[in-house]
Amino acid sequence: MEEDKKQNTVVETRPEEQEIDLIELAQKVWAERKLVLKACGIAILVALVVAFSIPKEYSTSVTLAPETASRGTSGTMGALAAMAGINLGSSSTSDALSPELYPDIVSSTPFLVDLFDVKIKDSKEKIDTTLYAYLDEYQRSPWWSSVISAPFKLIGWTVSLFKEKEVEDKDAPIDPSRLTPDADRIAKALSGRISVSVDKKTGVTTLSVTMQDPVISAQITDTVMHRLQNYITDYRTNKARHDLAFTEHLYAEAKADYEQAQQKYAQFVDANQNIILRSYMAEQERLQNEMNLAYQVYTQVSQQLQMAKAKVQEITPVYTVVQPATVPLRASKPNKIMILIGFVFLAGVGCVGWILFVKDLWQGWRKPKE
């Protein structure tokens, strides 16, 4: 019985001991409240300096609802295709270029290099240049980036003294398969400013571009959207356009053959009027048959040409722009409130940790041993 009473007494005193410990810790922090407030005040000043030193960034987003597969051919177009002897297919065909590949397309080197020559203007009309020059010469950065990069620039400059300088032709076109260091740097910077997200269920694509100027951000977003649409359209209609070009070539040949056969027949008839010889009649009949055969081929190829044009139009994807590109009114970066909260939180937590755990150890370590 006495042992049970002792155990109950221990259990009852544990919450009191924990409560006393928490009160002591709170009193310890409260005693050093001036230090905590001073640290938070310094953190606020540092946060304001950092927040206002970071250049503003503006983001523009567009939303697209593209087709994911080509449609089947039916109705009047199917009947016309059957009359011309062409089978356009009655069922939908799968699309190898799914929307999930759009982010990879936009971040690919050829796609990015193709954007280098895009002409841009800023909101104040002080910048009128290409996108490559804008990313290379007109980008603002916080003051500490120059301090951090100074040693690396010094090392690079020192190493360059012992290397042979390669002469680069700035007017030469950029080869996507062999980028220069500057072009590679600009391509990576541009890729980091373009983001594409795709909803796997609905296929809705959201394209976003971030730039340091709101007007340039909207311009590049609209350009990237149209370039992506053209890329997808060219991919899906590639075979149909090749077939159309081949049919146009056949059409030109069939038309020339028919006109030539028609001219030969007309010249022969004009030169041999009122002649009843069997040899002349046989030659006339042969030329007429050649003209009729050439006309039949010409007619069939003409129908095939119309169907090939209809096929290109049929498989050309249609895009629904749910949200067009508009000039943003507010900067998306930096978030000054979050920077301020983050600095104050870290300063407060660090200061409390110093008071509760580090300060006593530090003072004990500094005292001389007896």
Q: For the segment 38-91, what is each residue's pLDDT rounded down to a tens digit?
A: 999 999 999 999 999 899 999 999 998 866 554 444 444 454 455 444 554 544
Would you state the pLDDT for residue 187?
Answer: 94
Helix (H) or strand (E) holding 180: none
Q: 340-344, long-range: CB within 8 Å, 24+ apart, which pairs?
A: 340/44, 340/47, 340/48, 340/51, 342/47, 343/43, 343/44, 343/46, 343/47, 343/50, 344/40, 344/43, 344/44, 344/47
**AA identity, residue 234:** D
Over 60: is that where the pLDDT of 165 sits?
Answer: no
**AA identity, residue 52:** F
Would you state the pLDDT for residue 197?
Answer: 92
Q: Report how far residue 192's alpha carbon sits from residue 184's, in angstroms, rounded to the nearest whole number.
A: 12
DSSP 8-class letter at 124: T
Over 70: is that where the pLDDT of 160 sits?
Answer: no
Q: Is 126 exposed, middle or buried (0-12, 13-18, 19+ CB in 10 A)?
A: exposed
Residue with tokens 């979050």: 338
- pLDDT tens digits, 17-46: 444 467 887 888 888 888 889 999 999 999
